[in-house]
Amino acid sequence: MNRIDLLCGAKHDDRVSEIIAKAKRAGVAIRFCERAALDKASEGAAHQGCIGYAVDFTYSDVDEVFAVAEARGEKPFIVVLDGIEDPHNFGSILRTCECGGVHGVIIGKNRQVPVNDTVIKVAEGAAEYIKIVRAVNINESIRYLKSQGVWVYALAADGTDIYREDLTGAVALVVGAEGKGVSRLTRELCDGTLALPMRGKINSLNASVAAALGIYAKVECDRRKTE
């Protein structure tokens, strides 16, 4: 079991109390959610205030991501997800990462949907071909990336224009949570903050769309360098 989501404020019967106790002993993450979040995650099935996430998926470590880049003769290109909770967004991001040549994706252990059946389904097979790292603390992972010569940029509305930045070389892009963006401490760790130019009246994009545009801004930089 990867994680258990429980209904906020609900009175739990003995069965649920036993599940909680066993999860704590096994080190399984427990998260309390509003009913709307559980209804969405269950996709119409009856959840009775408790949903468990388990999937036969093996996570990688950061050094395995570097090994993939080295094997391809490329500089590391990594995407870090800071609290993506929608499995459809996560799956869509994985699919774009695979198509865009990203070597690995780093996610946090908490406040982040794990790789589950919905993620795998939406990713359309991408989860099988891209290294996914589940870190206890993504900020520690970012520090490690920087120590290895990777430039780390957060995607945020108040950053500099991403199309004016030289993204060639070893780069990691940090994509923030839906509605919240990249957390303050994580932003402070990054080497810079990049923004996608906005010309409409709405100044934010869906997380998976923002990730896709950021990934392909990097792809375009690399393409121009080889011309």
Q: List, for residues 12-69, the tens digit of each pLDDT value.
A: 778 888 888 888 887 777 888 888 888 887 877 778 788 887 666 889 999 999 999 9
pLDDT digits (tens, 9 = 90+) for 70-111: 999 999 999 999 999 899 999 999 999 999 999 999 999 888
Domain that holds residue 67: 62-226
pLDDT (0 to 100) of residue 187: 96
In sequence order, what are the residues at sequence separation of 6 or more whose Cβ sits closer than 8 angstroms to the Cβ of residue 101?
74, 77, 219
Q: Is 71 found in the same domain as 13? A: no
Higher pLDDT, 112 or 54: 112
Looking at the structure, tell me whether residues 39 and 85 fall in a common domain: no
If one compares 223 and 110, the residue with the highest pLDDT of the two is: 223
The domain that contains 213 carries what CATH number? 3.40.1280.10
Domain C-terminal end among 34, 53, 72: 53
**CATH number of the structural domain spanning residue 9:** 3.30.1330.30
Mean pLDDT of all residues in 162-176: 96
> In angstroms, rounded to a whole number, what is the distance separating the alpha carbons of residues 94 and 117?
13
Which residues does 202 contact at the CB level (< 8 Å), separation at least 6?
A: none
If asked whether residues 47 and 102 sit together in one domain, one would say no
Extract the tokens encoding 1: 């079991």
- For position 209, what pLDDT does the model report? 95
221 and 197 in one domain? yes
**Whether residue 27 is found in the same domain as residue 75:** no
Q: Please name the residues in contact with 12: beta carbons below 8 A apart, sequence gap of 6 or more.
A: 6, 20, 49, 50
CB crowding 72-85: b at 16 or more within 10 Å, else e:
eeebbbbbbbbbbb
| 191-222 confidence digits (pLDDT tens) | 999 999 888 877 778 999 999 999 999 999 99
**Are 70 and 49 in a shared domain?**
no
Measured CA distances, 183 to 83, 101, 154 (Å): 9, 26, 10
Number of residues in the chain: 227
> Quick one: 78 and 30 in the same domain?
no
Point out the least confidently predicted range of 36-45, 179-188, 218-227: 36-45
Q: Which residue has the higher pLDDT, 133 or 109?
A: 133
Degrees, nearest 5: CA angle 167-171-177: 105
Q: How many domains does the chain have?
A: 2
Does 220 lie in the same domain as 134? yes
- Is the pLDDT assigned to residue 2 strictly greater than 70? no
